[in-house]
């Protein structure tokens, strides 16, 4: 290699070294800026989430709604922070958003059921057909609503089994809330022998309902003949009771009705 070629090689090497060094310095400044943005962003997110949590605690009594608001705020702030961090490195977020949008569409099509449950959960929060603590019947499940989650609603059933019901099934079906009204009208039946004195049996049952302190006087309890055929006569017993007393009324009424009818000489076939 002659002296001219050597000099050219060295000039080229130093030129590339300068560009490399400049690139390292530029990357270092970008890293430092990203670190500062990250630290400030995390602190700001914590501050905003804390303020939202404090505000919703005073303004929103329902814990499930509060959690929805807090979670939504956190997700929005973190996504915004990530986009800002990408911008500090010179990455064009517009194209990234388009890619994320396409990926989101594909994921959405693959997770239609999950997204349906999410949307239904939002609608349950908006329309509020029930809240935590209400006695409900949804999607064939009866019990006490514990929590309305993002995808499922938690219900504790009477046998102490905890059910996780998909929100989509709840919102697309019939929702029964037993806690909204002041009282419940209970449905009970007792079948008597075919030759029984029906009028006397109705009087005995009506008297027992009147004497039961847990049965509401208004609306008046109903005692009606439902069926009258050869195997026997079925009488419907429909007292009203407050929700907290419903099971006690059901138990005591059927026990007392059977005992009193038999004491009065009226044969009970089944109840």
The pLDDT value recorded for residue 136 is 95
Q: Does domain 3-110 have CATH number 1.10.287.1260?
A: yes
- Mean per-residue pLDDT for 233-240? 93
Per-residue pLDDT tens digits for 179-188: 989 899 999 9
> Are 225 and 235 within 8 A, CB to CB?
yes
The pLDDT value recorded for residue 41 is 84
Per-residue pLDDT tens digits for 15-26: 555 565 666 666
Of the chain, the percentage scoring pLDDT greater than 90 comes to: 36
Compute the half-sphere exposure of residue 39: CA atoms within 13 Å on the CB side of its CA: 5
The pLDDT value recorded for residue 228 is 64
Tell me the sheet residues that pair with 241.
184
Q: Which residues make Cβ contacts (< 8 Å) with residue 136, sequence separation at least 6?
A: 130, 142, 143, 144, 145, 155, 175, 176, 177, 178, 179
Distance in angstroms (rounded) separating the CA atoms of residues 93 and 112: 27
Q: Which residues make Cβ contacts (< 8 Å) with residue 200, sequence separation at least 6?
A: 264, 266
Specify the CATH number of the domain 130-177: 2.30.30.60
Which has more confidence, 34 or 50? 50
Nearest to 206, CA basis, from 192, 220, 191: 220
- Lowest mean pLDDT, pick from 16-30, 119-133, 137-151: 16-30
DSSP state for residue 160 in the 8-state scheme: S
Mean pLDDT of the chain: 81
The pLDDT value recorded for residue 110 is 47
Domain boundaries, the chain: 3-110, 130-177, 184-270
Q: Which class would CATH give 184-270?
A: alpha beta
Q: Is the pTM of this model over 0.95?
A: no
Q: Tell me: pLDDT of 142 over 90.
A: yes
> Are 175 and 131 within 8 A, CB to CB?
no
Which has more confidence, 95 or 174? 174
Q: Tell me: pLDDT of 34 over 80.
A: no
Q: Tell me: pLDDT of 154 over 80.
A: yes
Stated as kind and residue range, the H or E segment containing 235 is strand 232-238
**pLDDT-based confidence at residue 84 (cuts at 50, 70, 90):** confident
Distance in angstroms (rounded) separating the CA atoms of residues 58 and 66: 10
Nearest to 177, CA basis, from 160, 161, 155: 155
CA-to-CA separations, 92 to 25, 83, 150, in angstroms, rounded: 21, 9, 32
**pLDDT-based confidence at residue 129 (cuts at 50, 70, 90):** very high
Of these ranges, 57-61, 131-135, 226-230, the one predicted with the greatest mean pLDDT is: 131-135
Of these ranges, 22-36, 73-87, 119-133, the one predicted with the greatest mean pLDDT is: 119-133
Distance in angstroms (rounded) separating the CA atoms of residues 152 and 147: 9
Q: Tell me: pLDDT of 9 over 60.
A: no
Q: Tell me: pLDDT of 227 over 60.
A: yes
> Are 145 and 179 within 8 A, CB to CB?
no
Q: Tell me: pLDDT of 88 over 50.
A: yes
Fold match flag (130-177 vs 184-270): no
> Are 148 and 115 within 8 A, CB to CB?
no
């Amino acid at each position: 290699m002659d002296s001219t070629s050597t000099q050219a090689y060295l000039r080229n090497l130093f030129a590339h070294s300068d560009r490399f060094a400049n690139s390292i310095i530029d990357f270092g400044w970008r890293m430092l800026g990203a670190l500062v943005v990250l630290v400030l962003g995390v602190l700001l997110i914590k501050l905003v989430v804390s303020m939202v949590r404090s505000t919703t605690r005073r303004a929103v009594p329902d814990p499930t709604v509060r959690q929805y608001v807090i979670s939504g705020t956190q997700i929005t702030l973190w996504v915004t922070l990530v986009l800002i961090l990408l911008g500090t490195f010179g990455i064009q977020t517009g194209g990234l958003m388009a890619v994320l949008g396409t990926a989101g569409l594909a994921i959405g099509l693959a997770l239609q059921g999950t997204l349906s449950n999410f949307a239904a959960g939002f609608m349950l929060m908006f329309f509020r057909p029930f809240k935590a603590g209400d006695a409900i019947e949804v999607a064939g499940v009866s019990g006490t609503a514990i929590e309305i989650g993002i995808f499922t609603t938690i219900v504790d059933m009477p046998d102490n089994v905890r059910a996780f019901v998909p929100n989509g099934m709840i919102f697309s079906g019939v929702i029964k809330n037993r806690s909204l009204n002041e009282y419940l009208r209970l449905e009970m039946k007792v079948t008597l022998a075919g030759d029984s004195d029906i009028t006397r049996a109705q009087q005995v049952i009506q008297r027992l309902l009147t004497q039961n302190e847990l049965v509401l006087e208004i609306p008046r309890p109903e005692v009606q003949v439902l069926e009258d055929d050869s195997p026997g006569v079925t009488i419907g017993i429909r007292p009203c009771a407050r929700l907290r007393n419903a099971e006690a009324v059901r138990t005591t009424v059927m026990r007392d009705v059977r005992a009193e009818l038999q004491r009065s000489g009226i044969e009970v076939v089944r109840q």
